[in-house]
Amino acid sequence: MTSTTLDLRNKRILVTGGAGFLGRQVVSQLSQAGADLQKITVPRSRDCDLKTMENCQRAVNQQDIVIHLAAHVGGIGLNREKPAELFYDNLMMGTQLIHAAYQAGVQKFVCLGTICAYPKFTPVPFKEDDLWNGYPEETNAPYGIAKKALLVQLQAYRQQYGFDGIYLLPVNLYGPEDNFDPRSSHVIPALIRKVYEAQQRGDRQLPVWGDGSPTREFLYSEDAARGIVMATQTYSDPDPVNLGTGKEISIRDLITLICDLMEFKGEIVWQTDQPNGQPRRCLDTDRAKAAFGFVSQVGFEEGLRTTIAWYRQHAE
């Protein structure tokens, strides 16, 4: 494994998606690791549509490091409603940005993948070497495959051009400032909002999609950002790397925990006619630990409490 540390001082760094939920944490962690905030550029999608090559070329011009977090992403609902958009948008943003960065002589490219790229029936915990051993869970597949294509591109550009691009696979993220829009949010913010609104209305029942049996693993956004910056500084290998906690929880236990923390006393009603999504998700996190020393630090209950408190404060 490579172990020289990339000095972030005086580096010009582009963080796509840097104004988002994870992006803000990444910018903060970059600053803590020595980067100059004045030299970090965060393009906004309304001014810089990365699906257009010219915008990608402008964005990477004179940058030393590109951290590509921007994605068109959501939960099961959005995946079912807009599979074509999710495939096209993520593929075009990523593949053009990588090509533009290579052409512009960018020193390092850090690409965030998705665990939706893993096969539907991957042995648990998911090891990076299993990434190609089957087709992803159907609802996630267009998004997952578009993101997985970027791993192939980075490995090909490394092989042919010596381009230093790395690929990280974060597990489901959560934390303050997450997307709580019910049409496109992931499971934790969706459930927190659902419980909060049920409490506001005085409901005695809480309908939840699926049967509660799937398991998920969750990584606090600040932990994820720290892992991304550690990899940016010290990881330069072609192999993809999982970022997670290595701990899984069933959706049933998750909603019970959220109800306990939010003091919701009603009954949970499982909507078994709605999809469960992938049966189990839990990552093998050994490679991140061995390659650049990353281990998650924020406990799940602690992270949930912080997230719930943030949402309550900003719900209006």
- Is 172 annotated as belonging to a binding site? yes
23 is in an annotated binding site: yes
Q: Annotation-wise, does 18 bind a ligand?
A: yes
Determine whether the annotation assigns residue 101 to a binding site: no
The answer to whether the annotation marks 105 as part of a ligand binding site is: no
- The pair of structure tokens assigned to 315 is 């719900």
- Is 147 annotated as belonging to a binding site? yes
Is 10 annotated as a binding-site member?
no
Q: 143 an active-site residue?
A: yes
Which of 143, 157, 167, 235 is flagged as catalytic?
Answer: 143
82 among annotated binding-site residues? no
One-letter-per-residue 3-state SS of the chain? CCCCCCCCCCCCEEEECCCCHHHHHHHHHHHHCCCCHHHEECCCCCCCCCCCHHHHHHHHCCCCEEEECCCCCCCHHHHHHCHHHHHHHHHHHHHHHHHHHHHCCCCEEEEECCHHHCECCCCCCECHHHCCCCCECCCCHHHHHHHHHHHHHHHHHHHHHCCCEEEEEECEEECCCCCCCCCCCCHHHHHHHHHHHHHHHCCCEEEEECCCCCEECEEEHHHHHHHHHHHHHHCCCCCCEEECCCCCEEHHHHHHHHHHHHCCCCEEEEECCCCCCCCCCCECCHHHHHHHCCCCCCCHHHHHHHHHHHHHHHCC
Asked if residue 120 belongs to a known ligand binding site, the reply is no
Residue 194 marked in a binding site: yes
> What residues act catalytically?
143
Residue list, annotated binding site: 17-23, 147, 170-173, 186, 194, 209, 216
Known binding-site residue numbers for substrate:
194, 209, 216
Residue ranges of the annotated binding site for NADP(+) are 17-23, 147, 170-173, 186
